[in-house]
Structure 1
Amino acid sequence: MQETPIMEVEARSEIKKGKNKKLRENGFIPGIISGKGMESIPVAVKKDEFRKCLNKFGRNAIIKLNSSDGNEYNVMVKGFQTSPLHYDIIHIDFQKVSLSEEIKAQVPIKITGQELLEAKRLILNRQLDAVLVTGLPQDIPDDIEVDVSNLTPGSTIKLSDLTLPKGLTLSSGSDQLLLSVNDARVQESEEPEEPEA
């Protein structure tokens, strides 16, 4: 099981726009902790600490939040908002999780071997960038790897063809197309012939 990162968060009593702006100016990101059967809890986390955690442990890591009011929460990052101008994270949604209850999560698809397809002049058509799975929070991986190096023209991979880590099941239709492979030469139509005079 992966190491559980710990982050310190500040409990917030006010969620007004002015307060949130001041938090961001001081290097914090406002956020909320939500979960089944609980009221949302406003918090703030240091921007640098959150970025380091995200880079090191990935989007689907379980994070232990130590709040300044003495409470502790096991959470996952449900989502975050970014500013349209600078792509800075301006708000985080944490989801409180239980290590004994299954959750649904989007897991990115990581393609390997694409350069070998390109060397054979084959084109990879991706239909999905992520797949929705169900499992215990600690079993949710950062990504699911798909090796395409041995695929041939006309090959397809559906969600049902994926090898999921132990304990995970698909939450979306298994017949859904994930990717397909085409021959680039078929798409390169010959130059049209000059009409006869």
Structure 2
Amino acid sequence: MAGEIPDLIATERTGTGKGAARQARREHQVPGIVYGGGVDPLPINLHYHDLRKRLKAGRFLSTLFNMKVDGHEDVRVICRAVQRDIVKDLPMHVDFLRLRRSTKINLFIPVEFVGEDECPGLRKGGVLTVVRPEVELVVTAGDIPDHITVDISGLNIGDTATISSVDLPAGAKPTIDRDFVIANVTAPSGLRSDEDEDEGDEVAADEVPTTEQGEEEDE
């Protein structure tokens, strides 16, 4: 289970309807609703500046939150919609879904690399290039992993680690239906430059016109 699910602080909103929502916005709050989970919907208010900061950080719609509301038990939620002002593009209302342990959701899970000390490519001076520091997976809300582990102990220079080589947690699967690259081991920059120069020399030699070669032979 993920150990660092971020808290999202909210207050219960008294009253519903447009009047209560407008009052919340005047108080620098953003009205919202928490629904699902087999219980009644809960109208809430979120602090405007905190919400704006989280929205700017990105992936708000795919982040699992531990919502805290005074007078209510903490509940895990995921955002399902953010309504914005059509002119100013500011958040006006937010919808959250309560999650049961069996609920399937899409989340970005961090990648942890192991086996770097044994990796032959790195021992030869290669460089580990991380393509995806996190991977989006479909996971069960009651069994969210802290991370997925990628073993690079067998990679040589030029090799790649793809999602098919990773042992995913039970019940988890990638949202992308292809064998995508997570990381690769590339040659050090100095070696790559030498190889490029060698290739350039070969190309230059191949590009010498045959007529000139023939004229040299005649002379």
- TM-score w.r.t. the length of structure 2 is 0.53
1:159 to 159, 163, 168: 163
Residue correspondences, number: 163
Aligned counterparts, 1:1-197, within 5 A:
9-12=10-13, 14=21, 16-20=24-28, 32=32, 34=34, 41-44=43-46, 63=66, 65=67, 67-68=69-70, 70-72=71-73, 74-76=75-77, 95-114=97-116, 118-184=122-188, 185-189=190-194
Q: Which amino acid aligns with 1:189?
A: D
Query: What is the rounded CA distance, in whole Å, between the counterparts of 2:146 and 2:79 in structure 1?
Result: 13
Shift in Å at residue 60 of structure 1? 6.8
Query: What is the rounded CA distance, in whole Å, between the counterparts of 2:146 and 2:72 in structure 1?
Result: 27
Higher helix share: 2
User: Measured at CA, do residues 120 and 36 of structure 1 come closer, stay the same or move farther in structure 2, by a change above 3 Å?
Assistant: farther
Query: What is the rounded CA distance, in whole Å, between the counterparts of 2:196 and 2:148 in structure 1?
Result: 41
Q: Which has the larger radius of gyration?
A: 2
User: Measured at CA, do residues 72 and 114 of structure 1 come closer, stay the same or move farther in structure 2, by a change above 3 Å?
Assistant: same
Query: What is the rounded CA distance, in whole Å, between the counterparts of 1:39 and 1:33 in structure 2?
Result: 7
**Conserved? CA contact 1:126–1:178, under 8 Å:** yes
Shift in Å at residue 158 of structure 1? 1.4
SS in 2 for 1:188: helix
* RMSD over aligned Cα atoms: 4.4
Structure 2: runs of 5+ lacking an equivalent: 14-19, 51-61, 81-93, 198-219
Shift in Å at residue 103 of structure 1? 1.6
**Residues 57-102 of structure 1, C-alpha deviation per residue, up to 9 Å, x if partnerless?**
xx97773x4533x4446214659xxxxxxxxxxxx98542111222
Query: What is the rounded CA distance, in whole Å, between the counterparts of 1:154 and 1:129 in structure 2?
Result: 19
Shift in Å at residue 127 of structure 1? 2.0
Q: Mean alpha-carbon deviation: is it higher for 94-103 or for 134-143? A: 94-103
Query: What is the rounded CA distance, in whole Å, between the counterparts of 2:68 and 2:63 in structure 1?
Result: 18
| Percent of aligned pairs sharing the same letter | 22
- TM-score w.r.t. the length of structure 1 is 0.58
